Amino acid sequence: MIRFENVSKSYGDSLILNDLNFTIEEGEFTVLIGPSGCGKTTTLKSINRLIEPDRGKIYVDEKDISQVDRIRLRRSIGYVIQQIGLFPNMTVEQNICVVPKLMKYPKDRNDQIAREMLDLVGMPYEDYAHKYPSELSGGQQQRIGVLRALAASPPIVLMDEPFGALDPMTRAILQDEVRRLQKKLNKTIVFVTHDMDEALIMADKIIFMNEGGILQMASPEDMLENPADELIVSFMGRRAKGMESAPQTAADFMRTDVHTTYINRGIREAVDKMARRKVDTLLVKNLDETYAGTVSVKSIKRVDKEIRKIEPLVRNTNVWSYIDEDAQECFEKLLSGDDSYLVVLNRDNTIAGIVTKTSMAKSLADAVWGDSQ
């Protein structure tokens, strides 16, 4: 548990931390977020005494850390920095074991730690232990950076924008990994970021800071539902406003990769196409490209052998809407009927696409939690 009591810090005339009070519970993933200069990094660094506050007290597990030897304190708290900071003169194994070695663990225990740690992130010991950081990709380097912080099993880990320098793909993978590790090892993590997406994905609790103070401290859901300040709303962008800026018309969330056929085609051809595309209905077009209806595999099964063409089987009963119709109306049409999708037509009655229940759910999820992760 980490507790800040009336913590203030200033550099010259500028107040960096202004009377901070908050508590971070054990096993909680807390994200500090805010615009640059809001004091989030200063807050983080005062937990391992890289920065000393001018006033106020910080308690870790009920101990006033200003009374704890700062070197001992730092060894008991994991620390991951943005620039990764793996020591280039040490191998992966040596980097992982930096803190255990400082704490004078016996050598065989260090070996075991290196193996266990690499195992946690699925990097085989034999392949990686003796490589130097410069021989690894950015993502691998930051994995090792995280492992170095975890190696001496500290209950608390501080992370200062750890994924800021990584490409979006790698970042997403590492976010998952760190979240998984945190749950598995039950660590208390304090994580600084300026990326609201990251905060919403990672956090149990978000502390939103501005000008050295806390604007809001809440779970991601609460913050999305009731942002306490305009600044928070602007950080969350369209996610906070929910449906207001969500897709407005059918065009915004329809799928365009639809399977069509012409009304004069044979049944065999239609069945064959359904089989190849793994679908059970096809959209049927008239010869002038306008929408004629749908044909389903069920209706084909029931049919007499004499019929060769699909034309008699085409039904125009499926729900449909025009492409510029309101999204909400489309959803209602789709939800009120039994059809599994809604056909979207252009104003000239040609086929534009379909809206499935899945794509509807996905667009709603995007509106609530941000773009699909």
Binding site for other proteins (CB under 8 A): 48, 50, 71-76, 79, 81, 83-89, 91, 98-99, 102, 132-135, 148, 158
- CA distances (Å), origin 180, targets 12, 174, 176, 202, 365: 41, 10, 6, 10, 22
Nearer to other proteins, 70 or 308 (CB): 70
Nearer to other proteins, 65 or 236 (CB): 65
Tell me the sheet residues that pair with 32. Answer: 192, 207
- Give a three-class secondary structure readout of 156-181: EEEEECCCCCCCHHHHHHHHHHHHHH
Nearer to other proteins, 67 or 317 (CB): 67
| Distance, CA of 361 to chain centre | 18
| Shortest spacing between CB 82 and other proteins, in angstroms | 8
Distance between CA atoms of 172 and 372, rounded to whole angstroms? 11
Residue number with CB closer to other proteins (76 or 318): 76
The minimum distance between CB 34 and other proteins, in angstroms, equals 21
| Cβ burial, residue 2 (10 Å; 0-12/13-18/19+) | buried
Pairing state of beta strands 351-356 and 341-345? antiparallel
Q: Judged by CB, which is closer to other proteins: 158, or 206? A: 158
**Closer of 144 and 250 to other proteins (Cβ):** 144
Q: Is residue 144 a contact partner of residue 95, using CB atoms and an 8 Å limit?
A: yes
Nearer to other proteins among residue 99 and residue 270 (C-beta): 99
Task: Tell me the two tokens of residue 286.
Answer: 């008239």
Q: What is the DSSP string of 303-364?
A: S-TT--BSGGG-B--S-EEETTSBHHHHHHHHHHSS-SEEEEE-TTSBEEEEEEHHHHHHHH
Minimum distance, C-beta of residue 142 to other proteins, in the bound complex (Å): 12
CA-nearest of 54, 80, 267 to 156 is 80
Least separation in angstroms between residue 272's CB and other proteins is 58
The least CB distance from residue 135 to other proteins, in Å, is: 6
**Please, what is the minimum distance in Å from the beta carbon of residue 322 to other proteins?**
57
Distance of CA 50 to the CA centre of its chain: 30
Q: CA dihedral in degrees (98, 99, 101, 107; nearest 10)?
A: -90
Question: Whose Cβ is closer to other proteins: residue 114's or residue 310's?
Answer: 114
Q: How far is the CB of 166 from other proteins (least distance, A)?
A: 15
Coil, strand or helix at 141: helix
Residue (of 338, 353, 264) closest to 298 by Cα position: 338
Instruction: Give the chain's largest Cα–Cα span.
Output: 93
- Residue closer to other proteins, measured from CB, 83 or 373: 83
Torsion of CA 332, 334, 337, 343, to 10 degrees: 140
Q: Name the minimum Å distance from CB 71 to other proteins.
A: 5
Shortest gap between Cβ of 257 and other proteins (angstroms)? Answer: 46
